[in-house]
Chain A
Amino acid sequence: MGWGLVIAIAGAVVAVILAGIGSSVGIGIAGQASDGLLSEDPESFGNILILTVLPGTQGIYGFVAAFFVIIQLGLLAGTVPQITMAQGTQIFLACLPVAFGGLVSGIFQGKVSAAGVAVAAKQPSESMKAVILSALVETYAVLGLLITILLLMGIKL
């Protein structure tokens, strides 16, 4: 097995790990704020569920990107693919947009969601507006994923 494959796999791993950290931290922040509200007002669960879940998507995007890499490499086919150093590096670089996009946007989305919990507490009927604001942060994780997928599809093996 050549180093090309190692580098390609490292790309998939970085995508899952960094995007996963982004989501974990993000949901961690938003979840604590939501718990604070729930400790006083359990009825508001429906209003804050989406807010709390939103930062979780980055982790999924990392997972999707890694899955694309696995399919592209044919790792599930049972044969060891022959990947050159250059191809491996290309795949690694292609994974970076979703990895860093997910890491940073996940954390900030968590903060926006946590701040949005105040809206859900004070004006439950307006809580969808807080969801929309939080979803704006999502855009940049989606763009990262999009470029990662386009790049992966463009790389000729």
Chain B
Amino acid sequence: MRTISYHNQKDDVKYSFAVGKIRAMETRLLDGLLFKRLIDSKDTREMGRLLVETSYGDLFKEGAASADFEALLNAELKRTYQLIKDIDPDPASACNLLALHYDFHNLKVLLKLRQSPSEADSFLINLGLYGPEAIRQMVTSSDYSPLPLNLAKAISSLVTELEKSSPPSQWIDIQLDHILYTYLIRQAEHLNNKFLITLFRFQIDLINIRTLLRVKQMEKEASFLQSVLLEGGEISKEKMLSFLEEPNDKLISSLNFAPYAQVIKEGINYYEKEKSLALFERLADNFFIQYIGQAKYIAFGVEPLISYILTKENETKNLRIVFVGKQNSLPKNIVEERLREIYA
């Protein structure tokens, strides 16, 4: 991977304990060999048995319904977030930003289904900085004051607009994504954490490129693209807009020197052949796993904690892929193909 514009910051020795602990916990991450065995196992029950011997052991203990893997994997993530919160010496730490997208997911669900709240339950995710119950409380009372001021203001005005007109549900998604990423970038800049700023910028870029491809396929006009592109990426909105009229080759060649050039090149080539963004998304995930791998060389700072959370997210994503594959009896090679890179 090309070098990433990231400069180590001042040593933050207050993270010594947390980083020491993380290094020990990283040795218990699931390795490629275990994933191979999971893929080779004959059903989800056998997968559950294999996982008993890992750090997932107490969740997948004998008799636990491994069919309900979704809840178990979320429980593992919840435990990870809690653990990081417990060992993080800084209560206003950058790690808080990572769980926020779950709250926004729940917020999207609750706002879209605000006419029929009972239906929302099955779509809510029991994760997030605030958690689904707190978000539900905010939506029912229309009081977003428990959120940080910037977010509360933005969401309140969004909800007011929502009540005046009834825009399509896609509009809610787009607006909330705008609010979330604006907030994330601003907070990361406020914390002066270059590792996170760069991470979020790259995320925005790759989301924007994906959006660009979809908009192109839908043959919508530039003003529509303008309204859905996220701000704050490394590639400016204007540049993104200029790609709308160009062939995809132009996009690939002009981003040839971006750190995620490979994602774009191979992802888009596959997309043009198969009309599927699956490879793009997988390569993007792999790119971020490589990016957070830089935290391996940091002994004093919050970066290893951030990296651990994202590694766990990736690990549970991989487990989910294997579980879903087993449940639907997908051939092994297809499951293998879909797996994300494993952090080692």
Contact = CB atoms under 8 A, between A and B. Distances in A.
Interface stretch (A36-44, A72-80, A86-94, A147-155): A36-44
Query: Is chain B's binding surface mostly helix, strand, loop or mixed?
Result: helix
Given A29-B13, A29-B16, A111-B300, A118 B23 contact: yes
A35 B299 contact: no
Interface in A88-137: 111, 114-115, 117-118, 121-122
Contacts of A39: 17, 20-21, 24
A37 B23 CA distance: 7
Contact of B21 (A29, A30, A40, A111): A40
B22 A36 contact: yes
A57 interface: no
A50 to B, nearest CB: 16
Contacts of B23: 36-37, 117-118, 121-122
B24 A115 contact: no
B27 A122 contact: yes
Contacts of A33: 16-17, 19-20, 299
A23 interface: no
B24 A121 contact: yes
Contacts of A44: 24
A145 to B, nearest CB: 25
Interface in B4-49: 11, 13, 16-27
A82 interface: no
Interface of A: 29-30, 32-37, 39-41, 44, 111, 114-115, 117-118, 121-122
Interface of B: 11, 13, 16-27, 87, 296, 299-300
Ranked nearest first, the 7 interchain pairs of A and B with the lowest CB-CB distance are A36-B20, A40-B24, A36-B21, A115-B299, A121-B23, A32-B16, A33-B20
22 contacts: A30-B16, A33-B20, A33-B299, A34-B20, A36-B16, A36-B17, A36-B19, A36-B24, A39-B21, A40-B25, A114-B19, A114-B20, A114-B300, A115-B300, A118-B19, A118-B20, A118-B23, A118-B296, A118-B299, A121-B20, A121-B23, A122-B27
